Protein backbone atom coordinates (compact mmCIF):
# COMPACT_ATOMS: atom_id res chain seq x y z
CA UNK A 1 0.00 0.00 0.00
CA UNK A 2 1.20 3.53 -0.77
CA UNK A 3 1.79 4.85 2.76
CA UNK A 4 1.40 8.49 1.70
CA UNK A 5 -2.30 7.74 1.12
CA UNK A 6 -2.94 6.30 4.58
CA UNK A 7 -5.87 8.16 6.13
CA UNK A 8 -6.68 9.44 2.60
CA UNK A 9 -3.85 11.98 2.95
CA UNK A 10 -3.55 13.78 -0.37
CA UNK A 11 -6.28 11.73 -2.07
CA UNK A 12 -8.73 13.88 -4.04
CA UNK A 13 -12.22 12.48 -3.47
CA UNK A 14 -14.56 15.22 -4.75
CA UNK A 15 -14.74 18.73 -6.14
CA UNK A 16 -15.90 21.58 -3.89
CA UNK A 17 -16.65 25.27 -4.29
CA UNK A 18 -16.98 25.90 -0.55
CA UNK A 19 -13.49 26.42 0.85
CA UNK A 20 -9.84 25.98 0.05
CA UNK A 21 -6.61 25.74 2.05
CA UNK A 22 -3.24 26.82 0.73
CA UNK A 23 -1.03 25.06 3.25
CA UNK A 24 2.21 26.49 1.94
CA UNK A 25 1.10 30.12 2.09
CA UNK A 26 -1.14 29.81 5.15
CA UNK A 27 -4.33 30.84 3.39
CA UNK A 28 -7.93 29.79 4.08
CA UNK A 29 -10.58 30.82 1.55
CA UNK A 30 -14.38 30.65 1.91
CA UNK A 31 -16.07 30.81 -1.51
CA UNK A 32 -13.21 32.96 -2.83
CA UNK A 33 -12.99 35.26 0.23
CA UNK A 34 -9.91 35.28 2.45
CA UNK A 35 -10.73 34.31 6.04
CA UNK A 36 -8.69 37.24 7.36
CA UNK A 37 -10.80 39.67 5.33
CA UNK A 38 -14.02 38.09 6.60
CA UNK A 39 -12.97 38.33 10.25
CA UNK A 40 -12.29 42.04 9.80
CA UNK A 41 -15.42 42.94 7.87
CA UNK A 42 -18.12 40.26 8.12
CA UNK A 43 -20.10 38.50 10.86
CA UNK A 44 -21.11 34.90 11.39
CA UNK A 45 -24.59 35.21 9.89
CA UNK A 46 -23.24 36.70 6.67
CA UNK A 47 -20.45 34.11 6.56
CA UNK A 48 -22.96 31.27 7.00
CA UNK A 49 -24.99 32.69 4.11
CA UNK A 50 -21.82 32.84 2.00
CA UNK A 51 -20.94 29.21 2.70
CA UNK A 52 -24.44 28.06 1.80
CA UNK A 53 -25.06 30.24 -1.25
CA UNK A 54 -21.71 30.77 -2.99
CA UNK A 55 -21.74 34.57 -2.63
CA UNK A 56 -22.27 37.34 -0.11
CA UNK A 57 -25.89 38.47 0.31
CA UNK A 58 -27.36 41.81 -0.68
CA UNK A 59 -29.21 43.73 2.03
CA UNK A 60 -32.58 42.08 1.40
CA UNK A 61 -31.08 38.60 1.33
CA UNK A 62 -29.10 39.28 4.49
CA UNK A 63 -32.13 40.62 6.38
CA UNK A 64 -34.23 37.63 5.30
CA UNK A 65 -31.51 35.16 6.30
CA UNK A 66 -31.00 36.74 9.73
CA UNK A 67 -34.77 36.83 10.32
CA UNK A 68 -35.09 33.12 9.45
CA UNK A 69 -32.12 32.24 11.67
CA UNK A 70 -33.60 34.02 14.68
CA UNK A 71 -37.05 32.55 14.10
CA UNK A 72 -35.54 29.06 13.91
CA UNK A 73 -33.42 29.37 17.07
CA UNK A 74 -36.14 28.00 19.39
CA UNK A 75 -36.10 24.29 20.18
CA UNK A 76 -39.07 22.19 21.32
CA UNK A 77 -39.74 22.28 25.07
CA UNK A 78 -40.11 18.50 24.96
CA UNK A 79 -36.49 18.31 23.89
CA UNK A 80 -35.42 20.31 26.94
CA UNK A 81 -37.56 18.06 29.14
CA UNK A 82 -35.77 15.04 27.66
CA UNK A 83 -32.41 16.67 28.38
CA UNK A 84 -33.35 16.89 32.05
CA UNK A 85 -33.53 13.09 32.12
CA UNK A 86 -29.86 12.75 31.17
CA UNK A 87 -27.05 12.29 33.68
CA UNK A 88 -25.71 15.73 34.53
CA UNK A 89 -22.14 14.51 34.03
CA UNK A 90 -22.84 13.18 30.54
CA UNK A 91 -20.39 14.30 27.85
CA UNK A 92 -21.82 17.41 26.14
CA UNK A 93 -20.77 16.07 22.73
CA UNK A 94 -22.76 12.88 23.31
CA UNK A 95 -25.73 15.04 24.27
CA UNK A 96 -25.32 17.24 21.19
CA UNK A 97 -24.97 14.30 18.83
CA UNK A 98 -28.11 12.69 20.23
CA UNK A 99 -30.29 15.80 20.13
CA UNK A 100 -29.17 16.91 16.67
CA UNK A 101 -30.19 13.47 15.41
CA UNK A 102 -33.45 13.85 17.35
CA UNK A 103 -34.34 17.01 15.39
CA UNK A 104 -35.51 14.71 12.61
CA UNK A 105 -38.25 13.51 14.95
CA UNK A 106 -39.58 17.06 15.37
CA UNK A 107 -39.15 18.54 11.89
CA UNK A 108 -39.98 17.39 8.39
CA UNK A 109 -36.87 16.26 6.58
CA UNK A 110 -38.16 16.31 3.01
CA UNK A 111 -34.99 16.76 1.01
CA UNK A 112 -36.20 16.48 -2.55
CA UNK A 113 -34.91 19.78 -3.84
CA UNK A 114 -32.11 22.21 -3.22
CA UNK A 115 -34.29 25.12 -2.10
CA UNK A 116 -35.90 23.07 0.66
CA UNK A 117 -32.44 22.06 1.86
CA UNK A 118 -31.56 25.70 2.62
CA UNK A 119 -34.42 25.91 5.11
CA UNK A 120 -33.20 22.69 6.75
CA UNK A 121 -29.71 24.17 6.95
CA UNK A 122 -31.00 27.34 8.64
CA UNK A 123 -33.00 25.25 11.10
CA UNK A 124 -29.92 23.22 11.99
CA UNK A 125 -27.49 26.15 12.26
CA UNK A 126 -29.93 28.15 14.38
CA UNK A 127 -30.79 25.35 16.81
CA UNK A 128 -27.34 23.96 17.68
CA UNK A 129 -26.46 26.91 19.98
CA UNK A 130 -29.82 26.62 21.74
CA UNK A 131 -29.34 22.89 22.32
CA UNK A 132 -25.90 23.46 23.86
CA UNK A 133 -26.96 26.45 25.98
CA UNK A 134 -30.05 24.58 27.20
CA UNK A 135 -27.91 21.62 28.27
CA UNK A 136 -25.51 23.90 30.12
CA UNK A 137 -28.37 25.50 32.09
CA UNK A 138 -30.12 22.20 32.79
CA UNK A 139 -27.03 20.39 34.06
CA UNK A 140 -26.29 23.38 36.31
CA UNK A 141 -29.79 23.12 37.78
CA UNK A 142 -30.90 26.43 36.27
CA UNK A 143 -33.94 27.42 34.22
CA UNK A 144 -33.33 27.49 30.48
CA UNK A 145 -33.13 30.91 28.81
CA UNK A 146 -35.15 31.46 25.64
CA UNK A 147 -33.47 32.97 22.56
CA UNK A 148 -33.71 36.75 22.17
CA UNK A 149 -34.60 37.72 18.60
CA UNK A 150 -32.90 41.11 19.03
CA UNK A 151 -29.47 39.55 19.59
CA UNK A 152 -26.91 38.32 17.07
CA UNK A 153 -26.12 34.63 16.72
CA UNK A 154 -22.95 35.04 18.80
CA UNK A 155 -24.52 37.20 21.51
CA UNK A 156 -27.57 34.96 21.74
CA UNK A 157 -25.57 31.88 22.60
CA UNK A 158 -23.62 33.66 25.35
CA UNK A 159 -26.90 35.11 26.66
CA UNK A 160 -28.73 31.76 26.66
CA UNK A 161 -25.81 30.11 28.41
CA UNK A 162 -25.14 32.71 31.11
CA UNK A 163 -28.42 34.61 31.36
CA UNK A 164 -26.53 37.87 30.74
CA UNK A 165 -26.22 39.83 27.49
CA UNK A 166 -22.49 40.11 26.67
CA UNK A 167 -20.87 43.48 26.07
CA UNK A 168 -20.10 44.43 22.47
CA UNK A 169 -16.40 43.60 22.68
CA UNK A 170 -17.06 40.08 24.00
CA UNK A 171 -19.80 39.58 21.40
CA UNK A 172 -17.42 40.60 18.60
CA UNK A 173 -14.63 38.34 19.84
CA UNK A 174 -16.95 35.34 19.96
CA UNK A 175 -18.43 36.22 16.56
CA UNK A 176 -14.93 36.20 15.05
CA UNK A 177 -14.30 32.78 16.61
CA UNK A 178 -17.42 31.48 14.88
CA UNK A 179 -16.27 32.83 11.51
CA UNK A 180 -12.86 31.21 11.92
CA UNK A 181 -14.26 27.75 12.65
CA UNK A 182 -17.10 27.73 10.11
CA UNK A 183 -15.40 25.56 7.49
CA UNK A 184 -12.07 23.91 6.73
CA UNK A 185 -12.50 21.80 3.58
CA UNK A 186 -12.52 18.01 3.92
CA UNK A 187 -11.46 17.67 7.56
CA UNK A 188 -12.57 14.56 9.46
CA UNK A 189 -16.01 15.79 10.53
CA UNK A 190 -16.85 17.45 7.20
CA UNK A 191 -15.83 14.37 5.25
CA UNK A 192 -17.97 12.32 7.62
CA UNK A 193 -20.96 14.58 6.90
CA UNK A 194 -20.41 14.28 3.16
CA UNK A 195 -19.95 10.52 3.32
CA UNK A 196 -23.24 10.12 5.19
CA UNK A 197 -25.00 12.55 2.84
CA UNK A 198 -23.71 10.57 -0.15
CA UNK A 199 -25.96 7.68 0.92
CA UNK A 200 -28.94 10.12 0.65
CA UNK A 201 -29.35 10.22 4.40
CA UNK A 202 -30.89 13.48 5.63
CA UNK A 203 -29.05 16.52 6.92
CA UNK A 204 -29.66 15.87 10.63
CA UNK A 205 -28.14 12.39 10.31
CA UNK A 206 -25.14 13.77 8.45
CA UNK A 207 -24.61 16.51 11.05
CA UNK A 208 -25.01 14.07 13.92
CA UNK A 209 -22.37 11.79 12.42
CA UNK A 210 -20.08 14.80 11.92
CA UNK A 211 -20.47 15.68 15.60
CA UNK A 212 -19.30 12.17 16.47
CA UNK A 213 -16.17 12.69 14.38
CA UNK A 214 -15.62 16.14 15.88
CA UNK A 215 -15.71 14.76 19.42
CA UNK A 216 -12.34 13.02 19.14
CA UNK A 217 -9.31 14.62 20.79
CA UNK A 218 -7.41 14.65 17.50
CA UNK A 219 -10.10 16.82 15.90
CA UNK A 220 -12.52 19.08 17.76
CA UNK A 221 -11.45 17.84 21.18
CA UNK A 222 -7.94 19.19 20.75
CA UNK A 223 -8.64 22.65 22.21
CA UNK A 224 -9.95 20.99 25.38
CA UNK A 225 -6.64 19.11 25.62
CA UNK A 226 -4.76 22.38 25.08
CA UNK A 227 -6.55 24.00 28.02
CA UNK A 228 -5.80 20.99 30.20
CA UNK A 229 -2.16 21.44 29.25
CA UNK A 230 -2.21 25.15 30.16
CA UNK A 231 -3.83 24.44 33.52
CA UNK A 232 -1.30 21.70 34.19
CA UNK A 233 1.58 24.07 33.41
CA UNK A 234 0.02 26.74 35.60
CA UNK A 235 2.50 29.60 35.16
CA UNK A 236 4.78 31.08 32.53
CA UNK A 237 7.98 30.16 34.36
CA UNK A 238 7.11 26.43 34.25
CA UNK A 239 6.50 26.25 30.50
CA UNK A 240 10.03 25.42 29.39
CA UNK A 241 10.56 22.47 31.72
CA UNK A 242 7.04 21.14 31.05
CA UNK A 243 7.49 21.21 27.27
CA UNK A 244 10.97 19.67 27.40
CA UNK A 245 9.80 16.85 29.68
CA UNK A 246 6.84 16.19 27.42
CA UNK A 247 9.02 16.02 24.32
CA UNK A 248 11.59 13.85 26.09
CA UNK A 249 8.77 11.35 26.64
CA UNK A 250 7.96 11.39 22.93
CA UNK A 251 4.59 13.06 23.52
CA UNK A 252 3.06 15.61 21.17
CA UNK A 253 2.36 19.18 22.22
CA UNK A 254 -1.34 19.80 21.68
CA UNK A 255 -2.14 22.85 19.56
CA UNK A 256 1.14 22.71 17.65
CA UNK A 257 1.45 21.40 14.11
CA UNK A 258 -1.12 20.74 11.39
CA UNK A 259 -1.72 18.09 8.74
CA UNK A 260 -2.07 20.68 5.97
CA UNK A 261 -0.49 24.01 6.95
CA UNK A 262 3.28 24.27 6.52
CA UNK A 263 3.31 27.76 7.99
CA UNK A 264 1.20 29.71 10.49
CA UNK A 265 -2.46 28.65 10.46
CA UNK A 266 -4.25 31.91 9.55
CA UNK A 267 -6.95 31.17 12.10
CA UNK A 268 -4.29 30.90 14.81
CA UNK A 269 -3.02 34.36 13.85
CA UNK A 270 -6.41 35.89 14.57
CA UNK A 271 -7.04 33.84 17.71
CA UNK A 272 -3.65 34.83 19.10
CA UNK A 273 -4.65 38.49 18.95
CA UNK A 274 -8.08 37.74 20.45
CA UNK A 275 -6.39 35.90 23.31
CA UNK A 276 -4.04 38.83 23.85
CA UNK A 277 -6.98 41.25 23.90
CA UNK A 278 -8.95 39.15 26.37
CA UNK A 279 -5.93 38.78 28.66
CA UNK A 280 -5.57 42.56 28.73
CA UNK A 281 -9.28 42.84 29.57
CA UNK A 282 -9.36 40.13 32.25
CA UNK A 283 -5.83 40.16 33.65
CA UNK A 284 -5.65 36.36 33.21
CA UNK A 285 -2.24 34.71 32.56
CA UNK A 286 -3.34 32.29 29.85
CA UNK A 287 -2.22 34.28 26.83
CA UNK A 288 1.34 34.67 28.11
CA UNK A 289 1.53 30.99 29.04
CA UNK A 290 0.24 29.99 25.60
CA UNK A 291 2.63 32.32 23.81
CA UNK A 292 5.50 30.79 25.81
CA UNK A 293 4.32 27.28 24.83
CA UNK A 294 4.49 28.33 21.19
CA UNK A 295 7.95 29.86 21.61
CA UNK A 296 9.49 26.92 23.49
CA UNK A 297 7.95 24.26 21.24
CA UNK A 298 9.26 25.98 18.13
CA UNK A 299 12.76 26.25 19.61
CA UNK A 300 12.81 22.62 20.78
CA UNK A 301 11.60 21.29 17.42
CA UNK A 302 14.28 23.26 15.65
CA UNK A 303 16.96 22.02 18.04
CA UNK A 304 15.87 18.38 18.18
CA UNK A 305 14.71 17.73 14.62
CA UNK A 306 15.80 20.81 12.69
CA UNK A 307 12.12 21.23 11.77
CA UNK A 308 9.70 24.13 11.85
CA UNK A 309 6.38 23.85 13.68
CA UNK A 310 3.58 26.36 14.00
CA UNK A 311 0.42 26.74 16.09
CA UNK A 312 -2.85 25.41 14.77
CA UNK A 313 -6.33 26.74 15.48
CA UNK A 314 -6.56 24.97 18.85
CA UNK A 315 -3.58 26.52 20.62
CA UNK A 316 -5.04 29.98 21.18
CA UNK A 317 -8.75 29.13 20.91
CA UNK A 318 -8.47 27.22 24.22
CA UNK A 319 -7.46 30.31 26.19
CA UNK A 320 -9.97 32.49 24.33
CA UNK A 321 -12.90 30.27 25.35
CA UNK A 322 -11.58 29.90 28.88
CA UNK A 323 -11.36 33.68 29.30
CA UNK A 324 -14.87 33.99 27.87
CA UNK A 325 -15.91 31.90 30.91
CA UNK A 326 -17.07 29.01 28.79
CA UNK A 327 -16.85 25.63 30.59
CA UNK A 328 -13.95 23.61 29.22
CA UNK A 329 -16.07 20.65 28.20
CA UNK A 330 -18.13 22.97 25.99
CA UNK A 331 -15.11 23.89 23.86
CA UNK A 332 -15.84 21.19 21.32
CA UNK A 333 -19.62 21.76 21.21
CA UNK A 334 -18.87 25.45 20.55
CA UNK A 335 -16.71 24.35 17.64
CA UNK A 336 -19.87 22.65 16.35
CA UNK A 337 -21.92 25.87 16.70
CA UNK A 338 -19.69 27.30 14.02
CA UNK A 339 -18.77 24.27 11.92
CA UNK A 340 -22.40 23.24 11.44
CA UNK A 341 -22.65 26.00 8.81
CA UNK A 342 -19.87 24.33 6.84
CA UNK A 343 -21.35 20.87 7.33
CA UNK A 344 -24.72 22.04 6.01
CA UNK A 345 -23.07 23.64 2.98
CA UNK A 346 -21.14 20.45 2.23
CA UNK A 347 -24.22 18.27 2.64
CA UNK A 348 -26.08 20.44 0.11
CA UNK A 349 -23.12 20.37 -2.27
CA UNK A 350 -22.83 16.59 -1.92
CA UNK A 351 -26.51 16.05 -2.67
CA UNK A 352 -26.91 18.62 -5.41
CA UNK A 353 -23.40 18.84 -6.89
CA UNK A 354 -23.03 20.80 -10.10
CA UNK A 355 -19.32 20.08 -10.31
CA UNK A 356 -17.75 17.02 -11.90
CA UNK A 357 -19.85 13.88 -11.30
CA UNK A 358 -18.70 11.23 -8.87
CA UNK A 359 -20.11 7.86 -7.74
CA UNK A 360 -23.44 7.92 -5.92
CA UNK A 361 -21.83 7.19 -2.58
CA UNK A 362 -18.34 6.95 -1.13
CA UNK A 363 -16.94 3.44 -1.18
CA UNK A 364 -13.14 3.44 -0.71
CA UNK A 365 -11.11 0.29 -1.17
CA UNK A 366 -9.26 -1.34 1.72
CA UNK A 367 -6.04 -3.36 1.51
CA UNK A 368 -6.64 -6.70 3.23
CA UNK A 369 -3.69 -7.73 5.41
CA UNK A 370 -5.46 -10.35 7.54
CA UNK A 371 -5.24 -14.15 7.73
CA UNK A 372 -4.94 -15.97 4.43
CA UNK A 373 -5.20 -19.77 4.29
CA UNK A 374 -5.24 -20.20 0.52
CA UNK A 375 -7.57 -19.61 -2.43
CA UNK A 376 -10.44 -21.54 -0.85
CA UNK A 377 -10.18 -19.74 2.50
CA UNK A 378 -9.58 -21.24 5.94
CA UNK A 379 -11.13 -24.58 6.85
CA UNK A 380 -14.03 -24.28 9.28
CA UNK A 381 -13.77 -26.70 12.21
CA UNK A 382 -16.63 -27.48 14.61
CA UNK A 383 -16.20 -26.02 18.07
CA UNK A 384 -15.37 -29.34 19.73
CA UNK A 385 -12.51 -30.01 17.29
CA UNK A 386 -10.70 -26.71 17.78
CA UNK A 387 -7.56 -26.49 19.89
CA UNK A 388 -8.18 -25.22 23.41
Catalytic residue IDs: 219, 258, 314
| Ramachandran angles phi, psi of 303, nearest 5° | -70, -40
Number of H helices, E strands in the chain: 16, 3
- The DSSP output letter for 165 is P
Contact 68, 153 (CB under 8 A): no
CB atoms within 10 A of CB 212: 15
CA distances from 189 to 182, 210, 221, 297, 336 (A): 12, 4, 12, 28, 10
Q: Environment class of residue 379 by beta-carbon count within 10 Å: exposed (0-12), middle (13-18) or buried (19+)?
A: exposed
Please enumerate in sequence order all residues whose Cβ is within 8 A of that of 210, keeping only pairs 6 or more positions apart, or say none: 189, 190, 192, 193, 196, 339, 343
CB crowding 32-67: b at 16 or more within 10 Å, else e: ebebbebbeebbbbbbbbbbbbeebbeeeeeeebbe
Amino acid sequence: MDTKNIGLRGVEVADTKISNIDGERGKLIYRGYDILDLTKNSNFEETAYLLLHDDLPNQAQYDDFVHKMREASWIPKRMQINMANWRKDADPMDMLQAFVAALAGYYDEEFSNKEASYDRAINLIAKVPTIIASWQRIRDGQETVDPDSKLSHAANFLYMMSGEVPDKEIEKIFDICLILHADHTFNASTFTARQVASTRAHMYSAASAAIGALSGELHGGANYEVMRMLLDIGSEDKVESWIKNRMDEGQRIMGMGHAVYRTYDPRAQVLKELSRKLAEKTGDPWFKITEKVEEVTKAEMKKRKNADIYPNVDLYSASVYYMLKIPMDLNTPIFAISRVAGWAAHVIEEKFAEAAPKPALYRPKAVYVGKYCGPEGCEYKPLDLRDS
